[in-house]
Amino acid sequence: MSKKKPGVIGILTGGGDVPGLNPAIRAVTIRAIREGYQVIGLRRGWAGVTETIREKDADNSNNYQYLTEELVNKSGRTGGTFLHTSRTKPSKMKKDDVPVHLREKYNADENDLTPDVLKNLDWLGIDYLIPIGGDDTLSYAVRLYQEGLKVIAIPKTMDNDVPGTDYCIGFSTCVTRTIALTNSLRTIAGSHERFLVLEVFGRYAGFTAMLPTMAGAAHRCVIPEYKFNIDKLTELMISDRNHNPSRYSVVLVSEGAMFEGGEMVFADRSTDAYGHAKLGGIGDLVASRIKELSGKHNDGKMINTIDQKLGYMVRGGDPDAIDSVVPMAFGNLALDLLLKNIHGRLVVLKNGRYDNMPLDVVTGTKKIVNVDHFYDIERYRPKYENFEMKPLFIMTSEG
């Protein structure tokens, strides 16, 4: 396919949707076009580039599209991703998921389609690839960079757990929504003098439970990084309720939180392309158990619970101010690097400053809450101390 000089940029969004993706796509596209580049939006994450058919007359409308200023401006103020997304992993694809036109070539139980992904990108004339995603999506970007593709990545995830950066697109809106929804539900908890148990996102990292609690939305939170004792949590919740004039208390439960002596709670046994089982149900179990145990610490009287999984409600709708500004900056940072012919980098926010890191940082470590620095294991809540010189959202893996 013919190229327009100085080159062609491919951009995609993978993994879960978050508010802020469309502003990032807009930032990359507008800057790139004004610098003379052509921009191709690869649809449905890694799925679109995997399923592309390298034939002139093939219908690839579901796999990629050419981006214009008019198109991205219309979408740039909205949530979600107009390029759509998926959890496709081309390097480890099950037999039944292989595109039909490639099934003769790839017929093992598990297949690595990377050779065809590279051919598809070359057929599209893509010189540079800008993937926007979490550590799963970006781990495959590392693979393509190792294969010789020029890659500059943008971190996205409402869990805020991509290593190397203090901030990921989607996190601020998630925290904003969590606080707002918790404040809406507390009127019900107060009216009925109940416990309010809210399950929030966070498979391996508890940032989405910690920050709203730190902001005053909840009395307690339990996170994946520290296994909690349910009897102790119940006692703390009762104490909070007794000291509250409206006679209720609130706990935020990360979806990856675990009971002392237990493991993660899964919704079912199915797994996604990256091997992650679907989490869900820990909030229900916590609500049930603290109700059962409440009489022990409340003169024999059980306390009812309001049990709500916030789930997709915190990732829907338009981005907040931070998730409108940061994606704009990240997109332009990516173009700055590209114009300098620098690649194999992840654009980041670090110590309050925009910067970039080696791309393979996303596969070299894990980003989780530093329990010693930030979590009070006796009180099941954040520590409110030593904030000097901390970044905007306080918590990093490094402390």
pLDDT tens-digit readout, 313-355: 999 999 999 999 999 999 999 999 999 999 999 999 998 899 9
Q: In the structure, how many helices (H) and strands (E) does the chain have?
A: 12, 17
Cα(12)–Cα(140) distance, integer angstroms: 12
Q: Looking at residue 396, what is its pLDDT?
A: 77
Domains with residue ranges and CATH for the chain: 8-169+317-364 (3.40.50.450), 172-314+371-382 (3.40.50.460)
Instruction: Answer whether 363's CB lies under 8 Å from 139's CB.
Output: yes
Q: What is the pLDDT of residues 266-288, one digit of tens each?
A: 665 555 554 555 566 899 999 99
- Return the pLDDT at 264: 67
Q: Which residues of the chain have pLDDT under 70?
A: 1-5, 264, 266-280, 397-399
| DSSP 8-class letter at 169 | B
Provide the pLDDT for residue 6. 82
Place of tokens 């998630």: 174
CA distance 30 to 163: 28
Check whether the bond before 90 is cis (ω within 30° of 0).
Answer: no
pLDDT confidence of residue 2:
46
Exactly one of 17, 127, 135, 159 is catalytic; which is it?
159
Tell me, what's the pLDDT at 270?
A: 58
Tokens at residue 348, please? 């980041």
Peptide bond into 131 cis (omega under 30): no
At residue 266, the pLDDT reads 66
What average pLDDT does the structure give for the chain?
Answer: 93
Do 373 and 210 form a contact (C-beta atoms < 8 A)? no
Does the annotation mark 135 as catalytic? Answer: no
On whether the CB atoms of residues 143 and 151 are closer than 8 A, the answer is: no
